[in-house]
Amino acid sequence: MGQDQTKQQIEKGLQLYQSNQTEKALQVWMKVLEKSSDLMGRFRVLGCLVTAHSEMGRYKEMLKFAVVQIDTARELEDADFLLESYLNLARSNEKLCEFHKTISYCKTCLGLPGTRAGAQLGGQVSLSMGNAFLGLSVFQKALESFEKALRYAHNNDDAMLECRVCCSLGSFYAQVKDYEKALFFPCKAAELVNDYGKGWSLKYRAMSQYHMAVAYRLLGHLGSAMECCEESMKIALQHGDRPLQALCLLCFADIHRSRGDLETAFPRYDSAMSIMTEIGNRLGQVQALLGVAKCWIARKALDKALDVIERAQDLAEEVGNKQRAAAGTAGACREVPRVCGGDGALLRPVWRVHRREEQPAAGPALLPHLPPQVPAKQRDPELSQLPPLIHEAWLCVTPGSRCGLPPRRSCSFSTAHWRPIYSWGSCQHVLTTARALGPAHGCSPVPSSPPCLFVLCSS
């Protein structure tokens, strides 16, 4: 197959793919790969196969084609092609939750000599690296990578990349419990889709709607969450996007659980778990398992909950996700005290997140895009005292309880969990409360405590 014929067949496959005839498109591209001797054409068709298998959730096949593409790039002896192929390899490992490998391949991309592709793909490399750091719960490095990707998007007027970064930032802020920003950034992504996305794939609209649904649920706006998730699921079904279908099912399950409709939540968790197991999304499996555990806790079937949490912990440790592993550790049987009197029920597991890095702080590239903040002159002057607290104390603020005691020495609460504070607004509230209670109530730093500031709140 010659160069012109190869090009024609690749275009034919693209037309089929864009009209949702994915299997036919794959057949055309595979035929080109088998018969074409044109290295440039083979490289391009391998890129098409990587993208198609990614959107279908066939991550192992995606990885296989990415490896072949690197070999082709080496034959071409072109730094631009090598950069693109290493980026595809990084993305493949990211999808398979091999986050350390993803970071390594991204660093390889950034270490390649300056090329034309480097200016265009550098933002995508930074985005993939940020997603990997987020998967490992290395929040500060994740945020720095996202900011770098955002700078690339602005410098190159790349609205599509900016949309993807905003979606990742939505996920980032959802994980660090800043739900207002978790909603703000997906809404920004949706605006970009409306303003610039006339010729874009519908997956960008679907992803922005999904992240909005997650944020709306966390904020308690369950009706809006359901609407956004339904729209995202509709697009995912239309395009055969299995990974997004699994995420939407997980979000549906969380929404029903939040409504107290556990009978509806359970089968959706099972469906999400099935797809995520099929495609190899181990971090998604952890999220589904933790959702199931919360359902069992709501039913007071805590022995079943502990079994599920331990499975989640094993998977999270395998992936390297510190946050989910910590959640699993809190639910391990050895960590849950038993009540000697009363009904003898197990106390609800306490969520403890052990982290050694500083709290994530937005840099100059991100600050103009954040929601309005309290002006510096209006902040309490004692807020400057909070960073030492964040690293030196656990602050327990609950009705009728002492403040400043480490969790293991505090009294037990069966209807509460530990939640980290990340926003200055929350810190302001804690500072005000601690100042009102005073030292007489035990509001003092505990230097030997774990390095994070937490409050106990109802779930």
pLDDT tens digits along 25-67 = 999 999 988 888 888 889 999 999 999 999 889 999 999 999 9
3-state secondary structure (DSSP) of residue 355: coil
- Would you say residue 249 has pLDDT above 60? yes
Look at residue 457 and tell me whether its pLDDT is greater than 60.
no
364-397 pLDDT tens trace: 556 555 555 444 444 444 434 434 333 333 333 3
Is the pLDDT assigned to residue 312 strictly greater than 70? yes
| Rounded mean pLDDT, 146-175 | 94
Average pLDDT over residues 9-20: 86
pLDDT, position 153 = 92
Whole-number Å distance between alpha carbons of 301 and 13: 52
pLDDT given at position 410: 32
Q: What pLDDT score was predicted for residue 78?
A: 85
The distance from CA 406 to its chain's CA centroid, rounded to whole angstroms, is 29
pLDDT band at residue 262, thresholds of 50, 70 and 90?
very high
pLDDT of residue 103 exceeding 50, the answer is yes
Compute the distance between CA of residue 167 and CA of residue 149 in angstroms, rounded to an integer.
12
In the prediction, which pLDDT does 297 show? 92
Q: 20-56 burial by CB neighbour count: b if 16+ within 10 A, else e?
A: eebeebbebbeebbeebebbebbbbbbbbbbbbbbbb
Residue 232 has pLDDT above 60, yes or no: yes
Query: Which tokens belong to 403?
Result: 């403040």
66 contact partners, CB below 8 Å, separation of at least 6: 46, 50, 85, 88, 89, 91, 92
Predicted pLDDT of residue 79: 85
Task: Give dist(CA 205, CA 232) in Å, integer.
Answer: 8
Looking at residue 351, what is its pLDDT? 33
Task: Of 26-30, 106-110, 258-262, 355-359, give the lowest mean pLDDT range.
Answer: 355-359
Collect all residues with Cβ–Cβ distance below 8 Å to 37 and sequence separation of at least 6. Answer: 1
Q: What is the pLDDT averaged over residues 426-436?
A: 44
Distance CA 342, CA 70 (A): 64
Using CA atoms, how far apart are residues 395 and 385, in angstroms rounded to an integer? 14
271-280 pLDDT, tens digit per residue, is 999 999 999 9
72's tokens: 């082709």
| pLDDT value, residue 113 | 74
Q: Which residue has the higher pLDDT, 3 or 431?
A: 3
Which of 276, 225, 228 is CA-nearest to residue 255?
A: 225
| CA dist list (Å): 198 to 48, 201, 204, 206 | 22, 9, 11, 14
**E-state strands within 270-386:** none
Instruction: Note the pLDDT of residue 326.
Output: 61
Higher pLDDT, 237 or 457: 237
At 371 the pLDDT is 53
Q: Give the pLDDT of residue 17.
A: 86
5 touches 14 (CB < 8 A)? no
Q: Is 224 helix (H, G, I), strand (E, B) or coil?
A: helix
**What rounded mean pLDDT belongs to the chain?**
76
Confidence of residue 327 (pLDDT cuts 50, 70, 90): low
pLDDT at 416 (0 to 100): 33
Tell me the percentage of the chain whose pLDDT exceeds 90: 50
pLDDT band at 20 (very low <50, low <70, confident <90, very high): confident
Reported confidence tier of residue 325, pLDDT bands at 50, 70, 90: low
Share of the chain above pLDDT 70, in %: 69
What pLDDT score was predicted for residue 455? 33
Confidence of residue 94 (pLDDT cuts 50, 70, 90): very high
Tokens of 61: 């096949």
Each residue's pLDDT tens digit, 411-429: 332 333 333 333 334 444 4
Q: 3-class SS at 38?
A: coil
pLDDT of residue 165: 96
